[in-house]
Structure 1
Amino acid sequence: MEFSRSLESDSSIETASISSGLDANRPVWKNNPFLFILSGNFISVFGDCFSGVALSLWVLQTTGSAKQMAAVLICHTAISVLFGSVAGTVADRIDRRKLMLAADLFRGSIACTLAFSLFYLDSSFGVMIVLVALSAFSSLFQAPAFHASIGQLVGKERIGQATSAVYLMDNVARISGLALAGVAIASFGGFWAMIFNSATFFMSAVCVVAAGAFPSFSRERREKSTFLKDLVGGFSYIRRDRLTRSIVILNPLLILFVMSSLMLIQVIAVKEWKAGPVAFGLLEMCIPLGYMIGAGLIMAFGSKLGHRGWWIFSGLLTLGPVFYLISIVPYAHTALPFILLCGMLFAFCTMMIQIILRSEVQTDMQGRIYGTLGAITGVAPSLGLVASSALADHVGAKFMLGAQGVTLFLIALVAVTFLKTIRTYN
């Protein structure tokens, strides 16, 4: 990577200081700092599901307006787009452990304030939006700090295993959290669901403290650069580094098509396949189950999985035809193995992308890359869902899913041809 090589002399101090704090031969399940921050992330993601369901129910029950619900989603998206790169730059300039700790403590305080405001003080919708915006803003700082710390803590040889563990645990947390949130809210109410979420953020902060100090960068270099210069430097890195630029282009496109296709499958299940509750539940389970199987395979093989670029494109080239096949099958049970396969292919595509980023982007630049990528990826699924749902109402969900499968396959062919830096990556 041309730009990376041009910065090698500048980053020698940082590389030395990071490497000195790592044991690359230590398995991730014996790496206590990594396990602590992984546990903290699992706890906070699990608890956030409770607050998300409780908040959605409060909006719909209080206002009865789909527009108000959309306003909450738009608020999250706008915060991500406007401040994602800023948060990533902050994560590259200060101690990432302290930033994660501050974000967890702030999110915990906001969740507690939100619970009392909505259920005891009868606050207005406007107050709720402000608190939600503050929570979303603080989450922006936690995410790049967390993801950019993985390589610091596990070493380059263990990035594949660590990345698989992160996404595997994230999916387990979301699935179990969403499954239990409804039961908990029905039993104890929305107020206690949000209080529980607040407690999980504080528990996550305890895990971050228990992780101990992270390997740090040279303070001398950080003091030489201004915040604005670092912010611009992040965009410049993406523009000049072909591998990073290719990933920033490919990842949002992948998320856009997969998320909108999954939504169309849900519509087809209800309108075309006439799936009952059991069949619909099995369909919903297949994607996360397939994703976890893919994550488990990547974790098991670790660094033995070479030619990672081809793993990405093999998955990408296969996803389109699989979506097309789902669009033409007549029954829900026939679609189950194909949907399971989609989850596995999606896991290989997304996780290999993350492994490449953590392996090749210099550590003191990763916060900015993850912040910018998160901002773009945050808005991409929303655009895809809006466009797909609008077109599906006119041409039918099955036709739309088939068209998206063909389009994704054509995009994959173009990507294989022009994104050589990913294709040839080993």
Structure 2
Amino acid sequence: MTRPPLTGTSAGDTDTGPPANLWHNRDFTLLWSGQCLSDLGGALVELALPLLVLERTGSPAQAGLAGTAGLVTAMLCRLPAGVLADRCDRRRLMIACDVLRLAVYALLGCAVAAGAAGLPVILAAVVAGAAATAVFSTAEHAAVRNLVRTDQLTTAVARNEARTYGVALAGPPLGGLLFGAGRALPFFGNAVSFLLSLIAVLCIRRPLQRTGTGTPPAAAASAAEGLRFLLGHPFLRALLVIAVPLNTAFTGMVFAMTLALRRAGLPPVTVGLAGTIFAAGGLLGAFAAPALQRRLRMPVLITLLCWTTAVLMTVAALLSPGVLAAVPLAAAVFLGPTANAALFGHQAAVTPDHLQGRVVSVLLLAAGSAGALAPVLAGALLARWSPGTALLVFPLLVAVAAVTAGLSRGIRAMPA
């Protein structure tokens, strides 16, 4: 089915409009700041939820169920979220998601404060919040292309990467502090973060998508249209093949290293310090990403990053389970944001605006599913082999991504 003609302009299709300096881009800064706060609120709850369930039920299995429910809900909602992000007004969609999340976590905070937050109430809040977050994040990814210049897309993605790693550093300690001060505080804090995100979205002036005329195709046909475009585009096909092993390798390697250090008898504070080093490496890498991208052609950059990451992970595996293994792994994590910024920045540039949501949703579903399975894979490998042998599986996965990047016509054709 043909797409109806589009009217209006998009920041992703013209280099006039948004400021040349991304720091002076009011609308992108509003969106980025609002999501910094909402991500931080989510990190507070990510730590507090299992602690709350464990305290109320005494069951580690039920504590894990709350986290699993959120992950499964997010994955199930990812593809419908892509269709919604392309068929509906993205601003209204994001506002509705923030209102829902604000209400859900404010009510959950009240229930916790009143001592009425049983497992069914907690699971209902987790499922509703995860569904709204899946829709919001997909719409946000699709909207960025309309807020920044085409030549700023990789820098914008790198800045979002910095947001992720910064929250990983600050969120858990703050969540633990609030939970210790009052069981309901992390949930009220999350509700406040969504209120601030809502205000930020309301203040954005530029359109978040191009406007279309005519009747859009049915939902199933719309989803199929996005998948056909992705599989028919050489770069996007390569990105799909590269993103899955890379995400599996990074998530699985960090998780396996954490388990290996603990099993080696290192105290929890040392294991926690290693996790902080990994997050700090990613944060620094996100700030360094634009400079690295300016110095190397995209195809060379992607291939070099993949092979360097494979080597660093191999060194980390050979040094495990010693604490020194955290150093090369942190260096590998440092390179991750540059690869993500280059790949997903180019994805935003080559995907038409009316397909952004659907293409992004497929990529995020594939990478997210791989990341969700990585801890299970890591645990199974460590149960069968020694850490030094088990961890070598993850650099092999990165090597698969490196070979794909080197052979792919879509990667080799990436412009400077």
What amino acid is aligned across from residue 353 of structure 2 in structure 1?
A: T
Query: Which consecutive unaligned segments of at least 5 residues does structure 1 have?
Result: 1-5
Shift of 1:49: 1.4
Q: Does 1:238 align with 2:230?
A: yes
Shift of 1:191: 0.6
SS of 2:392's equivalent in the other structure is helix
Give, in whole Å, the separation in 1 of the partners of 2:101 and 2:256.
33
Give, in whole Å, the separation in 2 of the partners of 1:25 and 1:376.
34
What amino acid is aligned across from residue 197 of structure 2 in structure 1?
A: S
Shift of 1:20: 6.8
Match of 1:65 in 2: 59
Shift of 1:208: 0.8
What amino acid is aligned across from residue 367 of structure 1 in structure 2?
A: G
Shift of 1:157: 1.4
Query: Which consecutive unaligned segments of at least 5 residues does structure 2 have?
Result: none
Q: Is the 8 A contact 1:118 1:128 kept in 2?
A: no
SS of 2:184's equivalent in the other structure is helix
**1:187-336 correspondence runs (5 A):** 187=181, 189-221=182-214, 223-272=215-264, 274-276=265-267, 279-300=270-291, 304-329=294-319, 332=322, 334-336=324-326
Give, in whole Å, the separation in 2 of the partners of 1:255 and 1:341.
16
Instruction: Mark the CA change 1:20 to 1:159 in structure 2 (over 3 Å): closer, same or farther.
Output: closer
Q: Is the 8 A contact 1:159 1:358 kept in 2?
A: yes
Give, in whole Å, the separation in 1 of the partners of 2:351 and 2:295.
19
Give, in whole Å, the separation in 1 of the partners of 2:412 and 2:19.
28
> Could you tell me which of 120, 145, 151 is aligned with 2:114?
120
What amino acid is aligned across from residue 252 of structure 2 in structure 1?
A: S
Q: Is the 8 A contact 1:29 1:35 kept in 2?
A: yes
Give, in whole Å, the separation in 2 of the partners of 1:212 and 1:330.
51
Q: Is the 8 A contact 1:17 1:216 kept in 2?
A: no
What amino acid is aligned across from residue 290 of structure 1 in structure 2?
A: G
Match of 1:145 in 2: 139
Give, in whole Å, the separation in 2 of the partners of 1:381 and 1:305.
30
Give, in whole Å, the separation in 2 of the partners of 1:77 and 1:330.
29
Shift of 1:160: 1.9
**1:403-422 correspondence runs (5 A):** 403-405=393-395, 407-422=396-411
Deviations 1:34-82 (CA, angstroms, capped at 9, x unpaired): 1101110001011111222221111111222232133223322322232
> Could you tell me which of 45, 50, 54 is aligned with 1:51?
45
Match of 2:89 in 1: 95
Shift of 1:224: 4.2
Relative to the length of structure 2, the TM-score reads 0.91
What amino acid is aligned across from residue 254 of structure 1 in structure 2?
A: L
SS of 1:225's equivalent in the other structure is coil
Q: Is the 8 A contact 1:41 1:204 kept in 2?
A: yes
Higher helix share: 1
Q: Is the 8 A contact 2:260 2:320 kept in 1?
A: no
Shift of 1:260: 0.7
Q: Is the 8 A contact 2:249 2:397 kept in 1?
A: yes
Relative to the length of structure 1, the TM-score reads 0.89
Q: Is the 8 A contact 2:155 2:341 kept in 1?
A: no
Q: Does 1:78 align with 2:69?
A: no
Give, in whole Å, the separation in 2 of the partners of 1:265 and 1:333.
9
**1:171-182 correspondence runs (5 A):** 171-182=165-176
Instruction: Mark the CA change 1:210 to 1:92 in structure 2 (over 3 Å): closer, same or farther.
Output: same
Shift of 1:31: 0.7
Q: Is the 8 A contact 1:151 1:159 kept in 2?
A: yes
Instruction: Mark the CA change 1:16 to 1:410 in structure 2 (over 3 Å): closer, same or farther.
Output: closer
Q: Is the 8 A contact 2:261 2:322 kept in 1?
A: yes
SS of 2:20's equivalent in the other structure is coil
Deviation larger for 324-333 or 72-81: 324-333
Give, in whole Å, the separation in 1 of the partners of 2:120 and 2:241.
35
Deviations 1:353-406 (CA, angstroms, capped at 9, x unpaired): 11111111112211111222222222212222112202211212222012332x
Instruction: Mark the CA change 1:19 to 1:395 in structure 2 (over 3 Å): closer, same or farther.
Output: closer
What amino acid is aligned across from residue 410 of structure 2 in structure 1?
A: T
Deviation larger for 177-186 or 292-301: 292-301
Give, in whole Å, the separation in 1 of the partners of 2:180 and 2:304.
44
Give, in whole Å, the separation in 1 of the partners of 2:372 and 2:176.
24
What amino acid is aligned across from residue 232 of structure 2 in structure 1?
A: R
SS of 2:56's equivalent in the other structure is helix
Shift of 1:320: 2.1
Instruction: Mark the CA change 1:199 to 1:170 in structure 2 (over 3 Å): closer, same or farther.
Output: same
Instruction: Mark the CA change 1:24 to 1:213 in structure 2 (over 3 Å): closer, same or farther.
Output: closer
Deviations 1:185-219 (CA, angstroms, capped at 9, x unpaired): 112x1212211110110111001111224254233
Q: Give the root-mean-square deviation of aligned CA atoms.
A: 2.5
